[in-house]
Amino acid sequence: MTPALQVRCRKLRSEGLSFRAIAEGVSRGARTISHVSVAALFKSEGSKLKQTLLPTELEPAPETPTLERERPATTMREAFAQARSTRYAGALMLYATLARLDLWNVFQKLGADAGPARHFGWSQTLATIVFCFALRFRSIEDFKNSRRQDLGALIGEEAGPTVLSLRGKIKALAESVDPVAVSRELFRRYLAIEPAWEGLYYIDGHFCPYYGKQPTPRGWDSKRRLAVKGHTDVYVHDAEGRALFFFSQPLNDSLGRAIPGAVEEIRCAHGPGPFTLVFDRGGYSGDAFRFLEEQGIGFITYLKGRAARRRYPQRLFQPGWFSFEDQRHVYKLFEKKTRVARVGTIRTVLFLGEEGQQIPVLTNLTPRMKAAQVVHCLRLRWRQENNFKYLRDHYAIDQIVQYGADQETQDRLIPNPRRKALKDEVRALTQQIQVLEAQLGRALNDNDESQRPTARGLKIAHGRLRREIAHKRQALTRLENRLQRTPGLISAEQVDKTRSLLREDRRLVINALKIAACNAERLLVRRFDETYEQPKDAFSVFRALLHLPGHICADGPDNAEVRLQRPDSEKVARALEALLIDINQDPPRMLGDGPRLRFSLQPLA
């Protein structure tokens, strides 16, 4: 950013404009300035400003009261000087796994800021968003149905923020951090807690439909089986169905085009070691296969096209097995080679489905990986789809958090509408000629040779019909010449077909927090189920435990005790007690730097 540009940014900021408005005001043509860069400029300047005394002053002038950036931790501890009751006390258990994810340090490292305020700094804003969706409020607007005083106890305040205040905090928070950088840092934390099994990463696109008035790009909605307006997010999961990373594809590009970007992000978090990508037919692309081969990255996907429809005698299929999670999985397999255009021959494993159908699997992995393992790794994609459903139903990842859209800055080529109109005219005129020629043919077939014995007489009798056919053929020739000279693709700006891209910086930040909350809940559920031993309903039971009422009170200068109401089910209570014992071995801090939380379970009056 040049000095002149910095002066321009300062002048616009003095007029009260937001970082985003400043970025839009100083951007010109190919020179695009991000609102993150503008925020970084003022942040660096703010850290260098020091208050100096005037030469004539004998003592420092009294400070004028200003709005605080973050509420002091001592004030937050004073909130628990007397025992406080809350109906959401069970949600405080999330602090244990959020601390393991290092959520507060991630945002602090990236320079998170929620704007000037006496209450609700950036750390409390993060906690409020996490608790909002962990407690299954459907949206930010639905947050108005919460009990503010009960929620305030979770963040060390007398009451939680209103929806209006929370929206302002979210706007400032999204302007202060780069959403992709947030997801990238959390990606590293997820892998530090639990690396991806066998280096397997599952990539798939998740389409979110849009029903507003903006002319956004269209994408394929698999539910409605239609091309509708919306945007696509590309997600990276591991073999357990845990969401690790996501990034936006606002133009709804194919999954094959998104693979290079996903590989770059995975490489940053995974490190230089080998890993394997698993994706469905949406990522089938010769260009993508060549790219993965050049990068030395393995892949597993389904074979697509005419070769996938070939059938082989079932006597060629031999049984093979693979042991996964203490269970043996047996498949009937047949291996062969398949030639893919511009790639070469690739190893292909066919297996018989439940109904006897032959399903071909394409991979560049060496035969050192058993064919049964290749097939089973691909079949684990259902865990990714289940996670999509869970995130959509419980964390509302399809929601559009903010209004507004920006015009697409990069021009694109679209099919020429004039060429389409000419093709319709050619088609209609060709049909008319065919009808007239059919009439002439019937006249020839029905000709009475006693009256018209020669072809000349037949032509004279039907001269009007022949002239009409000749005129239409001449018109058809002219249309075909015009069609040949009309370009097939033209600029979208020439026909006013520019698209709008939805603003999504807030959505991306909130979705990153939703995934963090989901993974934090997942870690707690896993420990809870070690004693509960009912994996089919462990998640549903634990969701209810997040709503357990309880009391919070100070227990020393740097500790707070959380007393949760004991569940009625003795089995659930025993599993919860075991979980709380684990949490108390390393008590988490509220908001990262607040009092340490120790949990107990007892009946409450």
With a threshold of 0.85, does the pTM exceed it? no
Q: Return the sign of the alpha-carbon dihedral for residues 6, 7, 8, 13.
A: positive
Q: How many residues are given for the chain? A: 605
CA–centroid distance for 327 within its chain: 32
Give the per-residue pLDDT at 442: 85
Q: Which residue has the tokens 């970007």?
A: 261
Of residues 240 and 342, which shows the higher confidence score? 240
The answer on pLDDT for 49 being more than 60 is no
Write the pLDDT tens digit of every residue in 405-428: 888 777 777 788 888 999 999 999
Q: Are 144 and 162 in contact, with CB atoms under 8 Å apart?
A: yes
The answer on pLDDT for 70 being more than 50 is no
Instruction: Give the separation between CA 166 and CA 172, rounded to whole angstroms.
Output: 10
* Amino acid at the residue 396: A
3-state class (DSSP) for residue 327: strand
Write the pLDDT tens digit of every residue in 117-164: 777 899 999 999 999 999 999 999 998 999 999 999 999 888 999 999
| Bridge pairing between strands 243-249 and 226-237 | antiparallel
Span 448-455, mean pLDDT? 76
- The residues facing 300 across adjacent strands are 278, 363
Confidence label for 529 from pLDDT (cuts 50, 70 and 90): very high
DSSP 315: G
Give the per-residue pLDDT at 412: 72
Span 278-288, mean pLDDT? 93
Of residues 330 and 34, which shows the higher confidence score? 330
Which of 198, 178, 177, 195 lies closest to 187, judged by CA? 195
Span 489-498, mean pLDDT? 75
Instruction: Give the separation between CA 412 and CA 251, rounded to whole angstroms.
Output: 11
The answer on pLDDT for 50 being more than 50 is no
Span 67-80, mean pLDDT? 51
Residue 455 has a CB neighbour count (10 Å cut-off) of: 10
Per residue, the 3-state secondary structure of 535-556, as one string, reads: CCCHHHHHHHHCCCCEEEEECC
Give the per-residue pLDDT at 77: 57
Q: Are 365 and 346 in contact, with CB atoms under 8 Å apart?
A: no
Confidence label for 472 from pLDDT (cuts 50, 70 and 90): very high
Give the per-residue pLDDT at 46: 55
Q: Are 599 and 564 in contact, with CB atoms under 8 Å apart?
A: yes
Pick the CATH number of 194-400 from 3.90.1010.10, 3.90.180.10, 3.90.350.10, 3.40.1190.20: 3.90.350.10
Residue 85: partners with Cβ closer than 8 Å, 6 or more residues away: 150, 153, 549, 550, 551, 552
Span 46-54, mean pLDDT? 44
Q: What share of the chain in percent tops pLDDT 90?
A: 61
The answer on pLDDT for 72 being more than 80 is no
CA–centroid distance for 605 within its chain: 44
Please state the domain extents for the chain. 3-48, 73-178+504-602, 194-400, 413-495
The answer on pLDDT for 55 being more than 90 is no
The answer on pLDDT for 550 being more than 70 is yes
| Bridge pairing between strands 344-352 and 327-340 | antiparallel
| Bridge pairing between strands 559-565 and 596-602 | parallel
The answer on pLDDT for 56 being more than 70 is no
Q: Return the sign of the alpha-carbon dihedral for residues 170, 172, 175, 177.
A: negative
Give the per-residue pLDDT at 45: 62
Span 27-55, mean pLDDT? 66
Q: What share of the chain in percent tops pLDDT 70?
A: 93
Average pLDDT, the chain: 87
- The residues facing 560 across adjacent strands are 554, 597
Give the per-residue pLDDT at 414: 76
Q: Which residues of 232-248 are buried (b: 16+ CB within 10 A; e: fewer)?
A: bbbbbbbbbbbbbbbbb
Instruction: Give the separation between CA 322 and CA 316, rounded to whole angstroms.
Output: 19
Confidence label for 305 from pLDDT (cuts 50, 70 and 90): confident
The answer on pLDDT for 11 being more than 50 is yes
Of residues 369 and 41, which shows the higher confidence score? 369
Write the pLDDT tens digit of every residue in 377-394: 999 999 999 999 999 999
Of residues 533 and 78, which shows the higher confidence score? 533
Residue 50 has a CB neighbour count (10 Å cut-off) of: 5
Write the pLDDT tens digit of every residue in 217-232: 889 888 888 999 999 9
Give the per-residue pLDDT at 280: 93
Instruction: Give the separation between CA 496 and CA 186, rounded to whole angstroms.
Output: 41
Span 432-439, mean pLDDT? 91
Residue 191 has a CB neighbour count (10 Å cut-off) of: 17
Which of 592, 541, 601, 593 lies closest to 98, judged by CA? 592
Instruction: Give the separation between CA 200 and CA 383, rounded to whole angstroms.
Output: 13
